[in-house]
Structure 1
Amino acid sequence: MKNFKPNLIKAAMVAGGIAAGLAPTAYAQDANTTDESVEVIQVSGIRASLQKSQAIKMSETSVVEVITAEDIGKLPDSSIAESLARLPGLAAQRLDGRASSISIRGLGENFSATTFNGREQVSLGDNRGVEFDVYPSEIMNEVVVYKTPEASLMTQGIGGTIDMRTVKPLAFGEQNLSFTLRGEKNDIGQLNPDGEDTGVRGSFSYIDQFNDDTLGVAFAYAHMSSPVNEERFNTWGWPENDDGVAVVGGLKPFNRSSELTRDTFMGVVEWTPNERLKVNIDALYIDFEDEQQLRGPEIPAAWGDAGVTVGTITDGFATTGTIGWIDSPVGAVIRNDITVREADLTAIGANFEYELNDAWVLEFDAAYSQVERRTWSLETYAGSGRGKDDRLPESIDFVFNSDNQSVTLTPDLDYGDDSVIQLGNPQSWGWGNLLDPDSDNDQDGFINTPTVEDELTTLKIAAEHVLDSGMVSSVEFGLYYSDRTKSKKDAGFFLTLPGTLDADGNVIPGAQTAIPSEYRLPNVSLDFLGFGEMVAFDSFRFWQDGNYLEYDSSITDPDRWKNTWEVKEEVTTAFVKANIDTEIGTMPLRGNVGLQVVKTDQSATGYNTRRLADRTLDIQNAEGGDDFTEVLPSVNLIADIADNQVVRLGLARTMSRSRMDRMNASSGELNFDEKVGIWSGSKANPALRPIKADQIDLTYENYYHEEGYFAVALFYKKLEDWQLEVPSLVDTSQLTPPEGFQPAPIGVITQWQNLGDGDIQGGEVSFSFTGAMLSDALEGFGGIVSATFLDSSIEFDLEVPTDTQGNTDVQSFDITVPGLSDEVYNATLYYERAGFEARVSWRSRSDFLGEVSGLSLKRVPVNVKGSDIVDAQISYNFDDSGIAALEGLTVTLQGQNLTDEEFVTNHGLEAGLDVRDAQRYGRNFLLGINYQF
């Protein structure tokens, strides 16, 4: 058996809660030391949390990274996503100014699994990926990231598994009451008149034990009202003109103000009526609302009817020029848009563990989770006239900066004058009003109203048999069952102002509506664009009060049916795991060898559509599915090669289930592309199989100090059955093309398919240190730094048409893995002593392929520019102040995004001057107090 060193025992005590508390103590001397002249150093805050995290990392048989409660609670983070992004090998993508999705070793949210107390979770999005900004940091005791799997880990992904864990009140071991209150300020200011730049966060937690420590309870409530303000520069694209110069297709810059409001309730009951039975019941409820106001002009340019006069050309891009002229006015669309997203998440689980005798332990676990998400995304249009023939003379000069990430616009029209800018469609967008089917000028707005429901039930029965001798110390085995149903209904409505239509329902030429005074708001300043002021009004209340006529887009838009679906999954997993504890010669060896057999039955329903002569749709039900079985072996071995030095080897076959929006049974409309002369369309694939990976991990870890370690890791993942949306060739010779075109013998149907193999390889280096190792004068100083280097490749062959007559050619492709940055760096430096604590954290990642919201809220891939984000915090705990009345009080000042780092994306899949978005969020500052007793 392994002989642990005393310092490891003490660290394990901290990890196990024996010396726990919200500020656990790690002893500076051995337990049997009684020399009163030896100074006992009280270790709390970040130092204690790093010790605890290090102890868990050492004790786990898998390769893991760990965050404990003190880490999350005191770092300047609004959710656990920011804290996770600081761990070695992990990175975050910002969404609307907040870290939301997490990638593990270059694999994004759709390739990793997330669990809550070990149980799979439903998600707010259209897929499986969990949005971590939903989960408040205040309710978590620890988060463990599994980079290598083991057979008893029921939910896995080829990236890894993130397990969020609540406190266990009996292990906590003492009564605790904690109150936190923080005020928040966004330094970019209140960009919209109905927006906010201040917020508040508060939490309360209670932990206690009863009946001679056989019954434990924990309860937490957390509230957050957090603002984000954003100056957004956005372009439609960069087409080339007749001279081969890239000219901006259109502009859509905005001021965005949003407020995330979140109320969270968490409860845990732990009961051990005797030495053999353990019962743990936990429940979680989250009420989530995100409201965003977006105001700015949408300006058609090269893709508009006004055209562009090019001035200066730099690196092939038109960097100065003029949009529109007197005889062809711009027709800028003045947008007062709002998006409201509401969701309710409920999760409840019960775990029963019974020690039958000294050799057998039985376990039963049952859980249920459910989420409902509702979204209202409203667009409203105003301008200087209805349609091209009614606009006022309007031109706009533009000057782009050197990297095309911002622009200065000089208009010759006053967009802040509500006698000039009135409600109505200046761009001839239409065909939503079926009463006037020939009109192209009836759309005065649009509202998307998708809903998502996700429901999941899981059951687990398991047993562990302890062996008295031999290299295998125990064997675990059992069955796991999950039943999940996720559905999306994609609804949307064309909006038309009543004053736009005559008595017969036909569009009145030039019709506009002045903004009613009761909805009018102060003008919005767009000085960051040089654009001046723009009219603003309460568009959401205007819509709620029934001031628009609504026309259901699903009557004429086949994409609404394509994006409406339901996916069901039933998964049964049988697993067995042998835990190893032996020696090779004098070298201790531990770990596990296991196997999962996973049977999946998946099915989906959706719709097929066909456009009729009157522009309405013929709608037919569609369904499909598949069932399959996967075998997933895993090996984790840890060799103690020297005192406090280990080498870990992980071998496994893993899989990530398909995104659910790819598995629906719906198909899109078949259209004739007059530019190339062929039919094209898209269809879903409810028979998609999971992406699989055979992986090997090799890690060296040196725990040279209770507050320090060094680790280096190498890993390789061999990928297969990758999913790509690729075209397939079909016979379309019997279809009748539009007049003037010859029948096309082949058409192209785009579909998600399991196609292509590839690999991911990389290395990680991490180093945790304390200044006390070098000198007593540096007691309290320390830090943790890490670097991750990644490379990937996905290769596949594809048959592509070479002409419209049916000739094809097979071409080879090589792409990179979405979400992967070649380089990721993290560093946190801190000082902590006598109640004072200061820390600064930096996280950096290079460019990567991410996802953002596109038209109709559909997720689209874009290149995301690398970023460097700096956060900091200072705090003082009055426990050491000598002021008895203030004991238990901590005052904290936090700063987020101190370098005011922008979020920048490109239209293409590589970095360049074809900028899509440049979003500036400003800095956030939080001042708060925490009181514990």
Structure 2
Amino acid sequence: MSIFKPSMLTLAMMAAGVTSANVYAADNASNDKEQEKEVEVIEVKGFRASLVKAINTKRFSPEVVESVSAEDIGKLPDSSIAESIARLPGLAAQRLDGRASRVTIRGFGEDHVGTTFNGREQVSITDNRGAELDLYPSEIMSAVTVYKTPSADLEASGLAGVIDLQTIKPLSLDERIVKVNAMYEQTSFDKLNPDADDNGFRGTLSYIDQFADNTLGVAVAFNTMSSPNQEKRWNSWGYPEFTGEDGQTYSVLGGAKPFVRSSTLERDSVMAVIEYAPSEKLRMVFDTLYVDFVDEKILRGIEIPFAWGQGSISADTAVVDPATGFVTSAITEGQRVVVRNDYEDRSAEMTSFGFNLEYDLNDSWSLEFDASHSSVEREIWSMESYAGTGRGDSRGVADNLGYTFNSGNAGATFTHGLDYSDYNLIQIGGPLSWGWSSALNEKYGVVGTEYENQLQDGFLNTPEVDDELNALRLAASKVVESDYISSVEFGLSYSEREKTKRSEGYFLTVSSFSLDNPGMMMVPEEYRLGTANLDFIGMGDMIAFDSRAMVADGYFDLLAESLTNPSHATKSWTVKEQLTSAFVKANIDAEIAGMPLTGNAGLRYVQTKQESQGNAFNTQDGKVITSPTHIEHDYSHVLPSLNLSLSIDDEQSVRFGAAKTISRARMDEMNASVNATYNQQPDENGSNWSVNGGNPTLEPYQAINFDLTYENYFSPEGYFSIALYHKDLQDWIFDGSYYIDMTGVADPATGEIPANPDGTGSGKVNGGDGTVQGAEFSVTLPFNYFSDVLDGFGVIASHTVNSSDMVDQDGNDYEIPGLSKSIQNLTFYYENYGFQARASMRKRDDFKGDVYGRGFDSQQVDILGETIWDAQIGYDFSESGLASLEGMTVTFQVQNITEEPFVSLSGDNALQVRDYQDYGRTFLLGVNYQF
């Protein structure tokens, strides 16, 4: 058996954050009575204790993992889960509205990363599977473990890995803990909107206790947060190309939509854990998490048309970049703009609970039962309101507008002639002819008049998502008397998931409109809020009013866009999945040439039945005609996995992993909503149906993975490792054609069910392949390794490189979403005598990422690399010698110290900026008190 295997005493000491320079020698001494060594125990607390726990989680896990561990509940070192784990080797985060939200593992985005809560797969508030981790409050989590290699018993799946969020187990402690956290938050920008907040508050109350002779444990935590975020954003419509008189190709700004955004994230969370262990054989745990999440946004700006507007661009004012043919400066004359006062509320309620029972039948056999539920309801209310100098394209005062692109991908600065803060000049109504809806024209009787297609004075998007997942699991394990296998585990699991999206939008028209009163509406005095400043783009002040209250008070009439726009039928769907799984896993404990070999080998079988419901639709006389669809598909996978760890000595080990993994297709691509046409003549495939939209028969992405890692734990607080990995990707999803069975679907044009149900679909299909390979270099270096004088100082660093040779069906190079060629993480820290200080950097290269597009569709864009610096200082008064302050800790954080912007491009030309988002800095002052 393993001569370097840690004893139960050692593991208990490590779990408690107690380390020893001779801890492994102590283990050897327990196995060899001839050795007697005194163990020097050194206790570390706070951030250093979290590091020790994280290191030991990594060291003694059979799989390749990374971990963020809290000293106890409420002590994660960052303000969000995403920020904390984004500092781990091989991981990176994408910011969304200024907050780290979506996490990639080894270059694969959130669609290829499984997320679990206490080992149970979770639903998401997005249209797809990827979890937005800022939904989960870090203050009520005790640890996060990232599995880079799988084992057969892991429930969630992902090509890249699984992120497991963990709550505390109250019986793991031996004392009552009552803790209060309070934090004040301030943005560096003054209020960008007059009705916004630039400061907020976070608070957590947690209670942990044990009863009945430590057989019953209870942990409860309540967290509330009101977190402000502000942004100066430059956004383009796009960059059309044209051919000049000289035959050269040029590109010019089509239009821009810059604005200032002020948002407040309100989040209330309740976590509870009840643990009961009436005997050594029986243990039961019930845990639950409830999150109420509301993100309110205020957005004000001016949409400025150029090449796609009504004005004329003066050629003699144009300045062209000779290297790219890009027009970097120009003036458009006779242009009308759209002044925007918008509001958005994104709300979600998430409920998760689980029950786990473990029972030891005897010294050899143990049983486990687990039941869980996870659900989320998400609603978005996103309103646009338009204002200008006159209704339609040719009424009202026009402006002469110029732009000049700035350096550093910061977009353009504009010049103008009108005063956009004048409430007499700028009034509510559609200044451009948007909203070409026959239903809208008919409602107001403007067909054939000069006001046809000029009645959209705003727009309201109201998409909703419901996601529910229920799961059961039965498992057993048996101790095996063998020189090679220590135990065998096996089990069955079953889960059902149903996700529904309902899409709808509404045209807004001022209620005062009629052919007798067709003009604009002046903003009523009671809704005026003053002005919002747009100096950052050169547009000065603009009118600011409460358009949300005006909608609530009936100043706008609403008309459903789905009457004439088929896109809402495409984006409304239900996807259901039923998964039946079986697994077997052998835990390895052997020796090779006197060196311990541990790990596991396993096999997981997954049978999947998926079905999708949606709409087949077409249009007649400008109106949308739909017919319901219901399509089913099933398949299965066999997923082997192997994890081996060879201990060279009590400090060094080599790991090897091999596994087959899957990531299920995006749910919005699996939907059964299609634009359908029944043709009288069949195509070359014999299909009369021609459809485009979702593909309910999509199967998972697949990968064959190999991992090789060297790890050296040279200190109880330090280690370094080198990891190599290779992923052979199969069944990647690209655009293509596929067969679709339209049995039972009526022809939208006739309402009758055709004789031939065969269809040819155009959309997403499986079939692409390629490889991803990379290397990770990581080190945690405490400076007391060199000298006791430097005790408390240390550095944590990692460097990851990735490469891919994926190509699409046409043989073109394909960039995997989320993959950056290199990622670096760096943290300097000091913690001693109660003082705490950290400075952290996370850096990644360019990558493709998902952002919200029109109608809240997921849209993939090119995102530039970024380097983000954060810092924190604090003091733990338990080290001060002041009894009255014992238990209190104060911290001060600055996030995004260098004000790193978020930048995305519209194409290969670096001058063609899609988004330049400046979030400023965030300051946080916190107090933590433990009774």
TM value normalised by structure 1 = 0.91
Partners of 2:39 and 2:571 lie apart in 1 by 69
Q: Pick from 679, 698, 710: which aligns with 1:688?
A: 698
Question: Residues 215 and 269 of structure 1 are in contact (CA less than 8 Å); yes or no, is this contact kept in structure 2?
Answer: yes
Q: Pick from 638, 642, 648: which aligns with 1:641?
A: 648
Partners of 2:81 and 2:144 lie apart in 1 by 9
- Equivalent pairs counted in the alignment come to 879
Distance change in 2, residues 1:773/1:353 (3 Å): same
Unaligned stretches of 5+ residues in structure 1: 673-678, 736-746, 798-810
Alignment partner, residue 122 of structure 1:
123
Q: Which moved more, 1:449-458 or 1:69-78?
A: 69-78
**AA in 1 matched with 2:665:** S
Partners of 1:189 and 1:671 lie apart in 2 by 58
Question: Residues 411 and 531 of structure 1 are in contact (CA less than 8 Å); yes or no, is this contact kept in structure 2?
Answer: yes
Q: Report the Cα offset of residue 605 of structure 1.
A: 0.4
**AA in 2 matched with 1:311:** A
Q: Pick from 282, 295, 318: which aligns with 2:327?
A: 318
Q: What is the DSSP-based 3-state SS (H/G/I as helix, E as strand, rest coil) of the residue aligned with 1:794?
A: coil
1:442 aligns with 2:455: yes
Q: Report the Cα offset of residue 10 of structure 1.
A: 7.2
Partners of 1:10 and 1:715 lie apart in 2 by 34
Alignment partner, residue 241 of structure 2:
240
Cα-to-partner distance string for 1:410-438 (whole Å, 9 max, x where unaligned): 11000000100000111111233132455
**AA in 1 matched with 2:3:** N
Q: Pick from 269, 277, 289: which aligns with 2:274?
A: 269
Question: Residues 76 and 873 of structure 1 are in contact (CA less than 8 Å); yes or no, is this contact kept in structure 2?
Answer: no
Question: Residues 290 and 350 of structure 2 are in contact (CA less than 8 Å); yes or no, is this contact kept in structure 1?
Answer: yes
Alignment partner, residue 590 of structure 1:
598
Question: Residues 421 and 543 of structure 2 are in contact (CA less than 8 Å); yes or no, is this contact kept in structure 1?
Answer: yes
Partners of 1:622 and 1:722 lie apart in 2 by 26
For residues 31-180 of structure 1, what are the structure 2 equivalents within 5 Å? 41-70=42-71, 73=74, 77-180=78-181
Q: What is the DSSP-based 3-state SS (H/G/I as helix, E as strand, rest coil) of the residue aligned with 1:395?
A: strand
Q: Report the Cα offset of residue 502 of structure 1.
A: 3.0
**AA in 2 matched with 1:869:** I
Q: What is the DSSP-based 3-state SS (H/G/I as helix, E as strand, rest coil) of the residue aligned with 1:785?
A: strand
Alignment partner, residue 415 of structure 1:
420
Q: Which moved more, 1:142-151 or 1:381-390?
A: 381-390
Q: What is the DSSP-based 3-state SS (H/G/I as helix, E as strand, rest coil) of the residue aligned with 1:795?
A: coil
Q: What is the DSSP-based 3-state SS (H/G/I as helix, E as strand, rest coil) of the residue aligned with 1:389?
A: coil
Partners of 2:801 and 2:551 lie apart in 1 by 50
Q: Which moved more, 1:305-314 or 1:786-795?
A: 305-314
Q: Pick from 23, 26, 38: which aligns with 2:19?
A: 26
Alignment partner, residue 718 of structure 2:
708
1:527 aligns with 2:535: yes
Partners of 1:120 and 1:755 lie apart in 2 by 27
Q: Report the Cα offset of residue 249 of structure 1.
A: 0.4
Q: Report the Cα offset of residue 751 of structure 1.
A: 0.2
**AA in 2 matched with 1:263:** D
Partners of 1:627 and 1:39 lie apart in 2 by 59
Cα-to-partner distance string for 1:317-349 (whole Å, 9 max, x where unaligned): 2111112x2xxx211000001110111000110
Q: What is the DSSP-based 3-state SS (H/G/I as helix, E as strand, rest coil) of the residue aligned with 2:813?
A: strand
Partners of 1:874 and 1:577 lie apart in 2 by 45
Cα-to-partner distance string for 1:389-419 (whole Å, 9 max, x where unaligned): 2120311121111344232211100000010
Alignment partner, residue 857 of structure 2:
858
Question: Residues 648 and 698 of structure 1 are in contact (CA less than 8 Å); yes or no, is this contact kept in structure 2?
Answer: yes
Q: Report the Cα offset of residue 4 of structure 1.
A: 3.1
Question: Residues 20 and 39 of structure 2 are in contact (CA less than 8 Å); yes or no, is this contact kept in structure 1?
Answer: no
Cα-to-partner distance string for 1:730-789 (whole Å, 9 max, x where unaligned): 9xxxx9xxxxxxxxxxx9964011121111100000011111111121111011100000
**AA in 2 matched with 1:820:** L
Q: Report the Cα offset of residue 47 of structure 1.
A: 1.0
Partners of 1:527 and 1:681 lie apart in 2 by 48
Q: What is the DSSP-based 3-state SS (H/G/I as helix, E as strand, rest coil) of the residue aligned with 1:51?
A: helix
Q: What is the DSSP-based 3-state SS (H/G/I as helix, E as strand, rest coil) of the residue aligned with 2:668?
A: helix
Alignment partner, residue 333 of structure 1:
338
Q: What is the DSSP-based 3-state SS (H/G/I as helix, E as strand, rest coil) of the residue aligned with 1:392?
A: coil
Alignment partner, residue 578 of structure 2:
570
Alignment partner, residue 777 of structure 1:
789
For residues 274-353 of structure 1, what are the structure 2 equivalents within 5 Å? 274-309=279-314, 310-314=317-321, 315=323, 316-323=325-332, 325=333, 329-353=334-358
Q: What is the DSSP-based 3-state SS (H/G/I as helix, E as strand, rest coil) of the residue aligned with 1:53?
A: helix
Q: Pick from 472, 475, 495: which aligns with 2:485?
A: 472
Q: What is the DSSP-based 3-state SS (H/G/I as helix, E as strand, rest coil) of the residue aligned with 1:87?
A: coil
Partners of 1:646 and 1:916 lie apart in 2 by 47
Cα-to-partner distance string for 1:477-506 (whole Å, 9 max, x where unaligned): 010100010000001101111222237xxx
Distance change in 2, residues 1:890/1:831 (3 Å): same
Question: Residues 251 and 299 of structure 1 are in contact (CA less than 8 Å); yes or no, is this contact kept in structure 2?
Answer: yes
Distance change in 2, residues 1:107/1:867 (3 Å): same
**AA in 1 matched with 2:670:** M
Alignment partner, residue 472 of structure 2:
459
Partners of 1:681 and 1:917 lie apart in 2 by 34
For residues 879-890 of structure 1, what are the structure 2 equivalents within 5 Å? 879-890=878-889
Cα-to-partner distance string for 1:63-90 (whole Å, 9 max, x where unaligned): 0000001499556633100001000000
Q: What is the DSSP-based 3-state SS (H/G/I as helix, E as strand, rest coil) of the residue aligned with 2:241?
A: coil
1:814 aligns with 2:813: yes
Partners of 2:666 and 2:22 lie apart in 1 by 52
Cα-to-partner distance string for 1:499-537 (whole Å, 9 max, x where unaligned): 22237xxxx65x100001111111001111111000011
Q: Report the Cα offset of residue 307 of structure 1.
A: 3.2
Partners of 1:11 and 1:49 lie apart in 2 by 17
Alignment partner, residue 918 of structure 2:
920
Q: Which moved more, 1:570-579 or 1:167-176?
A: 167-176
Alignment partner, residue 835 of structure 2:
836
Question: Residues 197 and 264 of structure 2 are in contact (CA less than 8 Å); yes or no, is this contact kept in structure 1?
Answer: yes
**AA in 1 matched with 2:4:** F
Q: Report the Cα offset of residue 729 of structure 1.
A: 12
Q: Pick from 487, 509, 526: which aligns with 2:500?
A: 487
Alignment partner, residue 740 of structure 1:
none
Alignment partner, residue 929 of structure 2:
931
For residues 529-678 of structure 1, what are the structure 2 equivalents within 5 Å? 529-613=537-621, 615-668=622-675
1:724 aligns with 2:734: yes
Q: Which moved more, 1:814-823 or 1:161-170?
A: 814-823
Question: Residues 76 and 143 of structure 2 are in contact (CA less than 8 Å); yes or no, is this contact kept in structure 1?
Answer: no
Question: Residues 108 and 160 of structure 2 are in contact (CA less than 8 Å); yes or no, is this contact kept in structure 1?
Answer: yes
Partners of 1:336 and 1:277 lie apart in 2 by 60
Q: Report the Cα offset of residue 644 of structure 1.
A: 1.5
Q: Report the Cα offset of residue 566 of structure 1.
A: 0.3
Cα-to-partner distance string for 1:34-63 (whole Å, 9 max, x where unaligned): x9x999754111111111111111110000
Cα-to-partner distance string for 1:800-834 (whole Å, 9 max, x where unaligned): xxxxxxxxxxx422212111000000011101110
Alignment partner, residue 686 of structure 2:
none
Distance change in 2, residues 1:756/1:5 (3 Å): closer
Q: What is the DSSP-based 3-state SS (H/G/I as helix, E as strand, rest coil) of the residue aligned with 2:456?
A: coil
Q: What is the DSSP-based 3-state SS (H/G/I as helix, E as strand, rest coil) of the residue aligned with 1:86?
A: coil
**AA in 2 matched with 1:155:** A
Unaligned stretches of 5+ residues in structure 2: 31-35, 680-688, 741-746, 748-758
Distance change in 2, residues 1:239/1:749 (3 Å): farther
Question: Residues 21 and 715 of structure 2 are in contact (CA less than 8 Å); yes or no, is this contact kept in structure 1?
Answer: no
Partners of 1:72 and 1:904 lie apart in 2 by 36
Cα-to-partner distance string for 1:525-583 (whole Å, 9 max, x where unaligned): 11111110000111111111121111111111100000000000000000000111011
Distance change in 2, residues 1:211/1:789 (3 Å): same
Alignment partner, residue 754 of structure 2:
none
Partners of 1:403 and 1:768 lie apart in 2 by 35
**AA in 1 matched with 2:331:** T
Q: Report the Cα offset of residue 643 of structure 1.
A: 2.5
Partners of 1:537 and 1:295 lie apart in 2 by 9
Q: What is the DSSP-based 3-state SS (H/G/I as helix, E as strand, rest coil) of the residue aligned with 1:455?
A: strand
1:792 aligns with 2:804: yes
Identity across the alignment (%): 49
**AA in 1 matched with 2:215:** T
Cα-to-partner distance string for 1:617-642 (whole Å, 9 max, x where unaligned): 11111121210110000000111122
Partners of 2:617 and 2:278 lie apart in 1 by 60
